[in-house]
Structure 1
Amino acid sequence: MRVPLVRFGAYVLAGGFYGLAGVFVSAQTGSGDPLVGNSLLLSMFAAVVIGGTQLGGGKGGRVGTIFGAFVLMIVVNILLALNVSAYFSTIAEGGVLLAAVLLGSLSRHSVLADRLRTLRGAIRARRAGTHVSQRPGADRKLAFVASRGRVRAPGDALPEPGFLQRHAAALRYAVPACVCLLVVLVATQVVLGNTLLNGGFWNSLLVLSTFLIILALGQGSVILTGGLDLSVPWTIGLSGILLAGLVQGSDAALLYAVPTVFALAALIGLLNGLGVVALGLSPIAVTLAANGILQGIALLYSGGTPSGFASPGLR
């Protein structure tokens, strides 16, 4: 794998997702609001971590991220349905994020413990003279594969791996989020009654969750490569007001407005990638600086107020 190219591509991909989120906002609100992205960082990181992606990179995937976004939005909607103040939603999101990080930390510690136990067992075997490399006639350069408690040498037929073995890495991080989603669904049914049969509730929830999924997939791709993207709020804001300003209620304008917004958002991701990957700068410094620059551009363009309006086709 060409690691620099993959890391660079992750930032470009993330920028495209944020542009899509800006289009989504304009379709939902009917106009371009430059301030809409400021409150989304916490929700986005929470969805990514709930989905099993570890901050720092290397572990996780998109399936868990999607389920993580559903879990978070259902929890927030339960609070709203119970007439709990909306001010508590960020407290809930922060608590969920901390809990997910803690569980991930415990999981990593358990893996470390397993490796230490394996190492201790190998040391004891060497001391007792029963290690595989100490058997008579053993070639120390041969690679051995452990399977069901037995040791196989190269040339021996290996069993065909099953579904769980082939997809173990993805399932390890996606399954907890899926289980969490089922638990939250049951809790929703218990708390809100016949919610599972209420099509309107789930329709609105799917719309809100889809928006968060788009953001979380963008941020998750960057986090998986060991990076971080803090340019999200104003990439969304600038994309939304630019689209609404170009469209001005015309469906025909969508033909050039949507590609323009996507191109701009991908360009922002490309510049972030150049700073982080090509120049080797800190992801926090590069993306935070980009967010500040985009904030100034968006406010100058819109005057700090919602501007333009979405077309019927976009809605």
Structure 2
Amino acid sequence: MACAVFGIPQPDLAPRWYDLRLCTERPDPAAPATPTPATAGPDGPGFGFSLRAAHGWDALADADTVIVTSVPDACVTGDREIPPALVAELRRAAAAGARMVSLCTGAFALAAAGLLDGRRATAHWSHTADLAERHPLVTVDDSVLYVDDGDVLTSAGVAAGLDLCLHIVRRDLGAQVANQLARRLVVPAHRPGGQAQFVDLSVPVADDDSLAPVLEWATANLERPLTVEELARRARMSPRTFFRRLQAATGTTPLQWLLHQRLALAQSLLEATELPVEQVGERSGLGSAANLRRHFTARVGISPTDYRRAFAARAAGPARRRPPATR
């Protein structure tokens, strides 16, 4: 997941991509300094990698972002400790200002280093009880896909780890880049971290009873005043059945799903166009500029105007000083 998102340069999406480096307890001196992507084929770019790690754990101290992808099962059950050398390097990286990220059971390593104490965090639901029992100072939430706590981020299992990686790209490079990368990876562009882990599918497979066609139509028509009744009619369901099916498939209600899509579109328009805020509100289906500002500020944390200004400054600013590293 981390390699697929951060390890393949995307020069057409962003001129400065991530410099991913693999770190391990016993590095291979003959390994390439960065992961080696598979050669692109006739059907598109390759996403396989040579995962021989050239760097030791001491390289974590030079990273802007440290991603702990997993730990051995024995470290989850308590039969084996997280290696003290890794714990020390994680603490050193955090103290140096690195953004700390865990995917799935990687949360156990961050917790062992004390980096989750007093924070809300998550892991795969099958391991959250063990995480809570072994680290009582951590507020463990087993009902979300991922938790963004600023400089420390944690995710649930495999698909949620990919969601978190795309969320990081969204934070760093903007919604437009994250959406285009998601299309290349053939995954949903944005699943908010607050969605439930216990869902059937993010977007159901395309069969006769699928919600996928109506959701695709809705995302292409967000400027319209969409209602649950209209979407249900297009899905050939009753409003009650549509509500139940969408909540089971995405972990959220139809109105909240629409709001997420409209805010994501508003972010893209603020990044990629110079449209006035009033037109951004209209095109995204959020209506007036006041309504856009209210929802945008509540969800993103800053106003649309400040978001556009901050994104422009970030896009024009210098490259990150240190490369992300994954353990």
Pairwise TM-score range, normalised by the shorter structure: under 0.3
Which has the larger Rg?
A: 1
Q: So what's the TM-score if we normalise by structure 1?
A: 0.26
Task: Select the structure with the greater relative contact order (CA < 8 A; seq sep ≥ 6).
Answer: 1
Relative to its length, the structure with more strand (as a share) is 2
